[in-house]
Amino acid sequence: MLIKIAFNLTVELVLQDTNLLTVESHPFHLHGYNFFVVGTGIDPAKDPAKYNLVDPPERNMVGVPTCGWAAMRFRADNPGVWFMHCHLEVHTGWGLKTAFVVENGKGGNQSILPPPKDLPPC
C-alpha cells in the first residue's frame, strides 16, 4: 500500500498490535526519517495520560508492544518514496509494511533531483 503525503505535512501514526496469541513486539522502522515517539502503551484507560507532545524521544525505530500501541510523529520534509516496515522479516511478508510517497515542495531544496542525463533508459 502507498500513502501519498503533501510536503511539510505533520504526520502522526498510531500502530496497534491486536495479537493475543504471542508475546512478540513489533519493531517498526521508517526509512528516510527520524520520528518522535509521542506515546506507547497497553492500557487504554491509563495510557492516554502518558501521551507526550512536549519532549518526546526522537528515534528511527519504535517497538509496538504485544496487545498494545505506539504513536509516532514526523514532518514530511524529505520528498521521495519511503518504506516503513516491521523489522521482523517474516512479518513484512505478512503485510506489516507500507510506503509513503512524500510529494515535492515548492523550492529547489524541497524536491527530488531529476535523474542524471547519462542514466541509461530501462
Classify 100 as helix, strand or coil.
strand
Classify 102 as helix, strand or coil.
strand
50-54: long-range contacts (C-beta < 8 A, 24 or more apart)? Answer: none
pLDDT at 30: 96
Q: What is the average pLDDT across 23-38?
A: 90
Give the span between the Cα atoms of 104 and 76, in whole angstroms.
10
**CA distances from residue 98 to 3, 68, 93, 112 in whole angstroms, order as listed:** 8, 20, 11, 20
User: pLDDT digit string (tens) for 31-51?
Assistant: 999 999 999 998 878 888 888
User: pLDDT digit string (tens) for 53-79?
Assistant: 999 999 999 988 888 889 999 999 999
User: Lowest mean pLDDT: which of 13-17, 45-49, 53-57, 115-119?
Assistant: 45-49
* Contact by Cβ (8 Å): 105, 8: yes
User: pLDDT digit string (tens) for 68-108?
Assistant: 889 999 999 999 999 999 888 777 787 789 999 999 999 88
Fold classification of 2-105 (topology level): Immunoglobulin-like (2.60.40)
